Amino acid sequence: MKYFASYFCLLGLLTGCLNTNSSDMSEKSKAMYALGHRYAFKMRYLKPAEKDVDYFVKGINDGLKGSSIEGLDIEAALKKSEQIITKNKRLVATEKMGQQQKAVSEFILENDLIKSDTGLFYKIIEQGDSDDVVSKNRPFVRLRYVGKKLDGTVFDKTSDQNLPVFPISATIEAWKEAIPMIGVGGKILILAPSDLAFGAGGAPPKISGGESVIFELELVDTSSELPKS
């Protein structure tokens, strides 16, 4: 974006000397890069001008030195920025949902999906073992899954060498609803609208706010506790 141009130019000599391969970075360097990346992503929702970006850099430098601009209420400014970010996230999410409507409708028709009361679209491919399902006594699940965007791009998938086990309570709302519909060995295809998936904030950088996503889920196992490492 244009408003980052001057910032990158100012730091050109510095960043030109930095590693672009994470395998060559120290753990501290990885942490610092991740923090910068995360905050810069949030900054986009503030739509900063070039001068605003300069103040962002000054804020980093002053924070490292333990100083701040005289008379500035840091907490009040942060609270205001969060309000602006939340508002703009919702606007972006609403726009994204509108852009996707045609693709969502086509996917639902092509795959003969059923709509639940919550707005989840699904199709049970295989029912699985009805005697071995997620329950209060067996709330942990082992899944094989593929997550896709509406254009077919895979944004997440499991590896057969390391299938994850986690409590169903820790998953997105769409999974909490879909997984109990099948038993072990069962498979289900779902299209999750953003409010049942990653919401207005999305899951940056792969999923935008307001984006509907597709999951192919297979329930491999259920258990009463996490496996011991």
Greatest pairwise CA separation for the chain in angstroms: 66
In a domain, 22, yes or no: yes
- β partners of residue 165: 142
Q: 70-99 burial, b if ≥16 CB within 10 A, otherwise e?
A: eeeeeeeeeeeeeeebeebbbebbeebbee
pTM above 0.85, yes or no: no
R_g of the chain, CA atoms, integer Å? 22
% of the chain beyond a pLDDT of 90: 38
Could you give the CA distance from residue 89 to residue 119 in angstroms, rounded to a whole number? 21
Confidence of residue 93 (pLDDT cuts 50, 70, 90): low
Helix (H/G/I), strand (E/B), else coil: 187? strand
Give the tens place of pLDDT for each residue, 43-71.
777 778 888 888 888 888 888 888 888 88
Residue 228 has pLDDT above 80, yes or no: no
Residue 109 has pLDDT above 60, yes or no: yes
Domain that holds residue 46: 2-65
In a domain, 229, yes or no: no
Asked whether residue 38 falls in the same domain as residue 143, the answer is no
Asked whether residue 179 falls in the same domain as residue 110, the answer is yes
- Comparing 226 with 150, the larger pLDDT belongs to 150
Give the tokens for residue 169: 């309570």
Question: The domain that contains 124 carries what CATH number?
Answer: 3.10.50.40
**Do residues 97 and 202 make contact, with C-beta atoms less than 8 angstroms apart?**
no
Question: Which residue is listed with tokens 């196992």?
Answer: 221
Answer with the one of 44, 65, 86 that is the final residue of a domain: 65
In a domain, 81, yes or no: no
